[in-house]
């Protein structure tokens, strides 16, 4: 094998690129010529394939770091490009863990088949920690899909207090999943999993259906306007017709349009043009949109500056420390002032104490949400206490 300028490699006919048993160092792209892949089978050479330009060679060993399972020999003058092992490893590390698990599983099966052909069948090694976690994710995803079909999901409603009047103004709908073996699973875990695929779309539709029906019952029990806020992931906004389906549900439950609010929970960066278009459409149909968890992750000043949100929800991370750390208090005060100047209403999340609620009164915030006001509860629990709750 002779090295050429750059990463090109030139082989003459009969030259060996790598041998069975060699440690994996590099993968190659065949640019010119033909390469034969052969393996030993009971003392004889078996040709596994003849590769032509455009083929990748030696990538298997680079992916799973196992010794080469075959020998590669040039059948004619060949030119190859060497691919850096570190570069491939970096890309594999950055890939979806489920894709990595599927890749490892496929490779392992191919290697086992090769060993069987060679009469050297071995017991398959146990799954690596990575494979176990990838399989766990796949299992959970498929169980979530079944839960969605079999009625295994549920929605809880957390009350929001109108700070100036001291009355309940509405609720936030929060999805729940009680796993048959693991018990309750946090939405932080399964919503994130559903967001990785289009599974979040039917989950979201289920929450909208349930929340619209509940909003009707809450309003009837209270005898006055109330709203239910529904979380919508960035992934759902890309789904065509989402808003129309929401509006159809709101109308068929005979709800005023403003009684369902949409909370954008951004766990992934989203194109501001997509989000801006969505907000405009919501406004044209009389629907209100909130920016959730403001101040953390992808929920930040750029959105507040570019997009006409009706409500800003300040994340509980600031509230946790606003009474003990003056810096947090300054941040909360400043966000409240900014949101007001932009004409948005403000919800502060995670209010657990009277002292925290007093701050919201002083800052003239619109709504308080948190355990002090009420934990997420079932619709039945809330309706049971309707007389005191909606007083």
Signed CA dihedral, 335, 341, 346, 352: sign only? positive
Asked if 297 is part of the footprint of ligand C2E (rule: CB under 6 A), the reply reads no
**Binding flag, residue 233, ligand C2E (CB under 6 A):** yes
The site partner of 191 among ligand C2E, Mg ion, none (C-beta below 5 to 8 Å per kind) is: ligand C2E
Residue 350 in contact with ligand C2E, rule: CB under 6 A? yes
| Total residues interacting with ligand C2E, rule: CB under 6 A | 25
> Of the ranges 50-58, 123-131, 132-140, 345-353, which one interacts with ligand C2E (CB under 6 A)?
345-353
Of 97-105, 110-118, 240-248, 344-352, the segment contacting ligand C2E by CB under 6 A is: 344-352
Closest distance to ligand C2E from the beta carbon of 20 (Å): 51
Q: Does residue 58 interact with ligand C2E by CB under 6 A? A: no
Which of 82, 31, 71, 28 has the alpha carbon at shortest distance from 52? 31
CB 83 within 8 A of CB 28: yes
- Of 53 and 350, which has the nearer Cβ to ligand C2E? 350
Q: Does 158 bind ligand C2E (CB under 6 A)?
A: yes
Task: Report, in this order, helix, strand and coil percent for the chain, each rounded to 5.
Answer: 45, 25, 30
Residue nearest to ligand C2E (CB): 370
**Joined tokens for residue 170:** 């509405």
Between 293 and 310, name the residue whose CB sits nearer to Mg ion: 293
CB 373 within 8 A of CB 160: yes
Which residues bind to Mg ion, rule: CB under 5 A?
A: 231, 263, 292-293, 349
d(CA 276, CA 167): 32
CB atoms closer than 10 angstroms to residue 115 = 15
Calculate ∠ Cα 112-50-95, nearest 5°: 55
According to DSSP, the residues that pair with 11 across neighbouring strands are 78
In this structure, are strands 153-162 and 183-185 parallel, antiparallel, or unpaired? unpaired
Stretch near ligand C2E under the rule CB under 6 A, chosen from 112-120, 218-226, 282-290, 350-358: 350-358
Please tell me whether residue 207 binds ligand C2E under the rule CB under 6 A: yes
Nearer to Mg ion among residue 193 and residue 262 (C-beta): 262
Among the listed residues 11, 376, 377, 382, the single contact to ligand C2E using CB under 6 A: 376
Q: Least Å distance between CB 230 and ligand C2E?
A: 6
* 31 in Cβ contact with 80 (< 8 Å): yes
> Is residue 311 near ligand C2E by the rule CB under 6 A?
no
b/e sequence 344-375, b meaning 16+ C-beta within 10 Å: bbbbbbbbeeeebbebbeebebbbbbbebbbe
CB 199 within 8 A of CB 153: no
Query: Shortest approach of Mg ion to residue 316 CB, angstroms?
Result: 7
Note whether 129 binds ligand C2E by CB under 6 A.
Answer: no
Task: Tell me how far, at minimum, the Cβ of 371 lies from Mg ion, in Å.
Answer: 14
Q: Which does 71 bind (CB under 5 to 8 A by kind): Mg ion, ligand C2E, none?
A: none
- Candidates 38-46, 102-110, 137-145, 366-374 — which segment interacts with ligand C2E by CB under 6 A? 366-374
CA distances from 308 to 8, 10, 262, 283, 305 (A): 54, 60, 13, 9, 8
Beta-carbon count within 10 A of 383 CB: 17
The binder of ligand C2E chosen from 209, 352, 383, 386 (CB under 6 A): 352
- Cα separation, 366 vs 160, in Å, equals 10
Could you list the residues that contact ligand C2E (CB under 6 A)?
Answer: 158, 174-175, 186-188, 191, 204, 207, 231-233, 263, 265, 292-293, 316, 349-352, 369-371, 376
């Amino acid at each position: 094998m002779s090295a050429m300028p750059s990463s090109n490699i030139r082989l003459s006919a009969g030259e060996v690129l790598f041998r069975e048993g060699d440690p994996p160092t590099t993968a190659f792209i065949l640019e010119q010529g033909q390469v034969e892949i052969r393996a030993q089978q009971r003392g004889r050479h078996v040709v596994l394939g003849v590769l032509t330009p455009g083929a990748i060679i030696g990538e298997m060993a680079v992916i799973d770091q196992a010794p080469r399972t075959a020998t590669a020999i040039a059948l004619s003058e060949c030119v190859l490009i060497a691919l850096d092992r570190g570069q491939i490893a970096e890309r594999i590390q950055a890939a979806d863990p489920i894709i990595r698990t599927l890749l490892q599983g496929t490779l392992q099966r191919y290697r086992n088949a090769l060993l069987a052909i060679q009469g050297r069948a071995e017991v398959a090694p146990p799954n690596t920690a990575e494979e176990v976690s990838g399989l766990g994710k796949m299992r959970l995803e498929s169980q979530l899909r079944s839960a969605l079909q079999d009625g295994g999901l549920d929605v809880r409603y957390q009350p929001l207090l109108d700070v100036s009047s001291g009355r309940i103004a509405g609720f936030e709908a929060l999805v729940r999943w009680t796993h048959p073996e693991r018990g309750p699973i946090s939405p932080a875990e399964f919503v994130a999993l559903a967001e990785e695929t289009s599974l979040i779309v039917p989950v979201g539709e289920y929450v909208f259906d349930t929340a619209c029906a509940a909003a009707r019952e809450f309003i009837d029990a209270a005898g006055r306007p109330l709203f239910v806020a529904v979380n919508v992931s960035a992934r759902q906004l890309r789904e065509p017709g989402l808003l129309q389906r929401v509006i159809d549900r709101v109308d068929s439950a005979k709800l005023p349009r403003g009684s369902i609010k949409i909370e954008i929970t951004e766990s992934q960066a989203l194109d501001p043009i997509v989000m801006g278009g969505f907000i405009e459409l919501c406004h044209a149909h009389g629907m209100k949109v909130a920016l959730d968890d403001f101040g953390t992750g992808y929920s930040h000043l750029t959105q507040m500056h570019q997009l006409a949100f009706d409500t800003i929800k300040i994340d509980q991370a600031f509230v946790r420390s606003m009474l003990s750390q003056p810096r947090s208090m300054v941040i909360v005060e400043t966000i409240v002032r900014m949101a007001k100047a932009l004409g948005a209403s403000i919800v502060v999340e995670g209010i657990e104490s009277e002292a925290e609620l007093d701050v919201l009164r002083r800052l003239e915030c619109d709504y308080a949400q948190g355990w002090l006001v009420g934990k997420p509860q079932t619709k039945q629990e809330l309706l049971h206490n309707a007389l005191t709750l909606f007083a």
